[in-house]
Chains A and B, each alone.
Chain A
Amino acid sequence: MITHRPEDLRSCDRLIIPGVGAFGKAMENLRREGMDEAIRTERERRELPVLGICLGMQLLAEAGEEGGNFLGLGLIAGRVARLQRSAAKERVPHMGWNEIEIAQRHPLLKGLETGSNFYFVHSYHFCAAHESDVVAFTPYCGRFASVVAQGNVMGVQFHPEKSQRTGFQLLRNFLAL
C-alpha cells in the first residue's frame, strides 16, 4: 500500500521509502505527517525492514546539503553531498546504467554480482560515516556508496523498480528478508 499516515506503519511487514524530489522538501513532508517519528519508532520496536530507494536512501542519513542544510532520518550514520565531477566526461546528474562493486556480501544482493547494472538518476550521494555500512560502491565521480545497510535498514541509490531483471532480483531479495 502507498501511505502517508503514521498509523499504517504499525501493521506493515516491510517499508519502502521511494524517492523522487529534493531532500529538504521530502523531510519537511515526512515531518509534517509525523512519518519521520513513526519510521524511527517502528524500526526500533520490531526491527521493521526498511528499504530506501534513491532519495529515500539519502533520507536515511543524518543530514543532507541539497538546497540548504537539512536533518535526515538519521537511521544510518552519514551525510548526503553533491557528486563532484572527477573528469570532463562525467556529467551530473549521474544518469543511466552503471554497475555495482560489491564490498561485502549481503542478503539484499543475493544472486547479484560485481558488474550487475542498475539504473541511476541522481546528483547527490550518500557519504557513509562507517565503511562497514557500505555494501556496494559504484565507480562514478570517483566512487560512491550505491548500497548501504545497517541492521534491517537498507538503502540503494539506484532505482530497482526501473532496473528490469537485476532490479526485480533485488526487490525479491528484500521481500524474502
Chain B
Amino acid sequence: MELTLFSILGALALASAVATISCRSPIRCALSLVVCLFSVAGLYVLLQAHFLAAMQLLVYAGAIMVLFVFVVMLLNLSPERVDKAKVTFLAAVSGLATLFITAKVARILMSFSPGSQPAVPGNVPAPDFGSVGTVGRLLFKQFLLPFELVSLLLLVAVVGAVVIARKRFWREGQ
C-alpha cells in the first residue's frame, strides 16, 4: 500500500517537474510546479510529517505559487521563442548527464545492504511523530534562535521586495 502510494506520488512529482522545465509558456510551468508541490506534500504525509505537509500546501502551493502566477499575469508574458537546435542539444546533453549520475547514485545506494538502512526501532515511529505539538516544541526550545532569525529574514525580504519593485527606485539615479 505504502509502496503503491509512493510510486504514484513519485511518478507524478517527476512528471510534473519535467513539465515545469519543459513547457514553453510560463503559466503552464507554474501550474505544473503546483502539481509537483502537491505530490511532494503527499509524500510528506507518507513520511509522517503531517505538520510539514500542511505547511507545504499553505506556504508553497498557496503563497509562493500565487506570487509566481501573479507576476506571470502582471508581466503578460508570451511563450518563449526558442532556438530549437540549441535547446535540443542542451536537453540531450543534460539528460544524458542526469541519467549517468543517477545510475551512479542508484548503484551506490543499492550497494548498501537493506539491513544497513537507518531505521527507528521496529520501523514504526511514535504516534505523535511529526505532529504540530512535537515539531513546535522542538522549534521553540532547541531551535529558538534560528526561528527568530528566520522571522528577521522574512522582514528583510518583505522590505527588500517592496523597495526593489517600487517604480521610483529606478528613476532616482537619472
A binds B: no
